[in-house]
Structure 1
Amino acid sequence: MLNIRATTDDEIAIYALKQIALEIGATEAMIDPNCREIILEWIASARKVDQYQGFVAEIEQQLIGFIGCQRYQKGYPQIIHIVQYGYIWGLYVEPTYRRQGIATRLMQTAIEYLSSINCTQILLHTSQVGQRVYEKMGFQISNEMSLKIDEN
């Protein structure tokens, strides 16, 4: 039976983020050798400042999925109207358990948590594969844009 629960085991987030990076085309060589320390430091700060919470999905005590969420501070002052943003990141489900509604259940849990800490709008970044899950849940493509700066 599927169980979704809050977790404070940040090692799970490290595993999930590495798996996501590899699935979107990164190689082991591209992943910072200090990624464990980087992620743990980032989560510790997010837990203090932004009410970070991680959730895991498990079946018979076997971890099969993860999601992280927190309050999100935009990169500019909110002067037009008050919106409290939440941010969802690191959604990962083990490949053999995909397409069974587990990602949706993790998302619902994260959305409920963000609502409980008074978030009124949720942001996330996604891959092409994940986009379908989010659109089914009511997420809309936004006007965010990005520019890759040439390192030369």
Structure 2
Amino acid sequence: MGQSFFNVRPATQADLASLVELRAYLLDGTDASYSSRTPEDAARWRAAYRTWLISRLSESDCVQIFAAEDKESGRVLGCATAIIDQRAPAPGCLNGLSGWVQSVVVEPQWRGRGIARQLMQHLLRWFANRGVGCVVLQSTATAGTLYETLGFAVSNERLLLRQEAWA
């Protein structure tokens, strides 16, 4: 099955519920350090994410969220988020613009059909059109092959995480 059954488009306010539910595949019930551990954790991140989405979908020049939509039903099948950070210039990033990819997720029954690849290609074009030459993402082992085929390489740097209980 080819790309013809879905479109990739910027997400809208009408997609809020779908975006939250898609992100839940990443944040609820996994063994990742950032996963919610209790139903209360899940409710808190969902409320905070909904608020974040509402503000970013309408007024942010440094955040773009793409949705993959089934052409026939209009149902959102997947999504991906691009965030531009302004950092200090470095040899591989002289303008200081650094891209971060988050929440690339596809409904389980639609995986393996090119949706994540198309979402990523849209994100990478969006970054390139804004002068972002360095893009970073955190991946699961399963998705790593996709990202490598798109030009990402495993870094020899360690990712360290510090989370405050109240944050």
Is the TM value for this pair above 0.5?
Answer: yes
Q: Is the 8 A contact 2:62 2:85 kept in 1?
A: no
Partner of 1:111 in structure 2?
124
Provide the secondary structure at the position in 2 that maps to 1:99: coil
Amino acid at match of 2:24: K
Q: Which amino acid aligns with 2:49?
A: I
Question: Equivalents in 2 of 1:91, 1:67: separation in Å?
Answer: 4
SS in 1 for 2:105: strand
RMSD between superposed Cα atoms in Å: 2.7
Q: What is the aligned partner in structure 2 of residue 22 from structure 1? A: 28
Q: 1:4 to 1:148 in 2, by over 3 A?
A: closer
Aligned with 2:83: secondary structure? strand
Q: SS state of the match for residue 33, structure 1?
A: helix
Other structure's SS at 1:144 match: coil
Per-residue CA deviation, residues 5-48 of structure 1 (Å, 9 max, x unaligned), is 10133443322221112363346616343213322444436975
SS at the partner of 1:34?
A: helix
Residue in 1 that maps onto 2:7: 3
* Corresponding residue to 1:101 among 105, 109, 114: 114
Supply the distance in 2 between the matched residues of 1:141 and 1:79 (Cα, whole angstroms): 19
1:128 to partner: Cα distance? 0.7
> What runs of 5+ residues in structure 2 fail to find an aligned partner?
none
Measured against aligned partners, the alpha-carbon deviations of 1:54-91 in whole angstroms (never above 9, x if no partner) come to 111111211110101020244xx336533421111100
- Which residue is equivalent to 2:44? 34
Q: Distance in 2 between matches of 1:116 and 1:21?
A: 30
**TM-aligned CA distance change 1:2 to 1:70, over 3 Å:** same
Which residue does 1:55 correspond to in 2?
66
* Count of aligned residue pairs for this structure pair: 149
TM-score by length of 2: 0.74
1:87 matched to 2:91: no
Of all paired residues, the percent bearing the same amino acid is 23
